[in-house]
């Protein structure tokens, strides 16, 4: 099915990467131990989050909601956006158009 978008893909992934960097426990989705994650240089963490954002973007094309760390990531095709939610305390919105 896939996600329809009108913005530049690199801009969407940039916003998505930034949102994911605020998610606790995202290293678990990457099957990394907390100690290994902590040892990564900041630029390596960013590269991992960019890869994760890319993977989630394509995954959300078939599964509208996915769990990552302590958050739910949801594709809302009617509003053309992706939401990153952590209960009532944190919400990031990535606009697709």
Alpha carbon distance 55, 74 (integer Å): 14
For residue range 60-74, what is the model confidence (pLDDT) as tens digits?
999 999 999 888 999
Helix (H) or strand (E) run with residue 10 in it:
helix 9-20
Q: What is the pLDDT of residue 24?
A: 83
Q: Model pTM?
A: 0.89
For residue range 70-86, what is the model confidence (pLDDT) as tens digits?
889 999 999 999 999 98
For residue range 30-45, what is the model confidence (pLDDT) as tens digits?
888 989 999 999 999 9
Angle at 6 between CA 90 and CA 56, to 5 degrees: 45
């Amino acid at each position: 099915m896939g996600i329809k978008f009108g913005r530049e893909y690199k801009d969407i992934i940039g916003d998505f990467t930034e949102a994911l960097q605020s998610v606790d426990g995202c290293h678990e989705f990457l099957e990394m131990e907390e100690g290994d994650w902590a040892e990564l240089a900041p630029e390596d963490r960013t590269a991992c989050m960019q890869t994760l954002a890319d993977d989630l973007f394509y995954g959300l094309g078939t599964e509208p909601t996915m769990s990552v760390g302590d958050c739910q990531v949801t594709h809302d095709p009617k509003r053309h956006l992706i939401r990153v939610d952590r209960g009532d305390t944190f919400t990031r919105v990535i606009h697709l158009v």
